[in-house]
């Protein structure tokens, strides 16, 4: 009887140690992504200060940034592709690929952001908000319930779209581009969530069943969020800028309500 108790105690201790190691690994991965996001945000702060809001005495620095931004944008995209190749090699070797993939994400944001700022200086203020928004989504992905992540992602894109409407109007490139991205991402999220619902939270990856969500996950909030986000993004086309303004608050309030709901489920 004593030996059985010892075995049970060791098993429980091993499970606890394994859980702690997994939690530490998840936390360290999140920190890597956040470090990349901080560097990207600092980059856009510098661009905003010395290119978009350059003072009269800093005109030479502004011209230097004006010439450098296209090269920085292309360099960011090239480094993004190189880091993706590096990450695939790490995966093939069975190693942790979080660093190359995090760097690839950072270089992609910096590259595309540099090109967008070069085309329109007003995009600089948008990038200053997008980078922290991506960082918050990463925190949600790593530390919160997985059902909440697609809801937060689609809502964030919806808020970005209505902000772009207020900045550029119904025919502006920013609004049309962000609307297209929101519709595509929402459709992908819906397709993935429907597939997960059919397979009780599991997806097939390289011939193996991978559990992404718990078997009792609630998929209704994601479906409601998808419909709400699309409606909010399209309403300004018929109702004007006032609908875009209130749409920001509607989606923001909805994200907060879902956060409270999913937090209550953890208790």
pLDDT tens per residue across span 94-126 = 777 788 888 998 998 899 888 888 887 877 888
Could you say which of 143, 169, 186 is where a domain stops? 143
Based on the fold, state whether residues 2 and 130 are members of the same structural domain.
yes
Report, as an integer, the average pLDDT of 50-56. 82
d(CA 255, CA 224): 11
Based on the fold, state whether residues 172 and 117 are members of the same structural domain.
no
| Mean pLDDT comparison of 64-68, 136-140, 173-177, 214-218, highest-scoring range | 64-68
Based on the fold, state whether residues 93 and 151 are members of the same structural domain.
no
Neighbours of 8 (CB within 10 A): 10
d(CA 141, CA 179): 23
Binned at pLDDT 50, 70 and 90, residue 215 comes out as confident
Task: Count up the domains in the chain and report the number.
Answer: 2
d(CA 75, CA 134): 21
200: left (phi over 0), alpha (psi -120 to 50) or beta: left
Q: Is the pLDDT of residue 210 over 80?
A: no
Token duo for residue 242: 């006032």
Could you say which of 90, 118, 143 is where a domain stops? 143
Based on the fold, state whether residues 18 and 115 are members of the same structural domain.
yes
Are 154 and 182 in contact by the 8 Å Cβ rule? The answer is yes
pTM value > 0.85: no
Calculate what percentage of the chain has a pLDDT beyond 70.
89
Could you say which of 143, 168, 187 is where a domain stops? 143
Structural domain of 18: 1-143
CA torsion 161-164-165-167 (nearest 10°) is: 170
* 132-26-196 Cα angle (round to 5): 85
Helices (H), the chain: 2-47, 59-92, 98-119, 123-143, 148-168, 173-198, 220-239, 241-266
Smallest Cα–Cα separation from 245: which of 232, 256, 264? 232
Report, as an integer, the average pLDDT of 150-154. 90
Phi/psi at 46 (nearest 5 deg)?
-65, -45
């Amino acid at each position: 009887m004593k030996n059985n108790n010892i075995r049970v105690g060791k098993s429980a201790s091993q499970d606890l140690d394994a859980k702690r190691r997994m939690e530490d690994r998840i936390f360290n991965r999140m920190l890597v992504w956040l470090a990349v996001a901080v560097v990207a945000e600092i980059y856009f702060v510098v661009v905003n200060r010395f290119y978009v809001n350059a003072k009269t005495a800093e005109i030479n620095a502004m011209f230097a940034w004006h010439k450098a931004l296209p090269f920085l944008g292309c360099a960011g995209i090239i480094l993004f592709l190189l880091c993706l190749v590096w990450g695939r090699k790490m995966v093939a070797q069975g190693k942790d690929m979080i660093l190359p993939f995090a760097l690839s994400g950072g270089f992609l944001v910096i590259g595309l952001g540099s090109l967008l700022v070069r085309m329109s200086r007003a995009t600089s203020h948008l990038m200053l908000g997008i980078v922290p928004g991506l960082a918050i989504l990463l925190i949600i992905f790593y530390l919160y319930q997985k059902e909440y992540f697609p809801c937060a992602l689609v809502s964030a894109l919806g808020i970005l779209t209505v902000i772009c409407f207020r900045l550029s109007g119904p025919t502006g490139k920013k609004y049309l581009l962000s609307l297209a991205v929101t519709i595509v991402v929402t459709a992908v999220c819906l397709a993935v969530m429907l597939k997960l619902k059919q397979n009780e939270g599991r997806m097939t990856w390289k011939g193996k069943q991978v559990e992404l969500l718990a078997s009792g996950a609630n998929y209704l909030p994601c479906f409601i969020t998808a419909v709400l986000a699309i409606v909010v993004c399209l309403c300004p086309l018929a109702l004007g800028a006032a609908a875009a303004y209130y749409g920001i608050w509607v989606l923001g309030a909805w994200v907060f309500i879902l956060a409270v709901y999913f937090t209550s489920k953890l208790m």
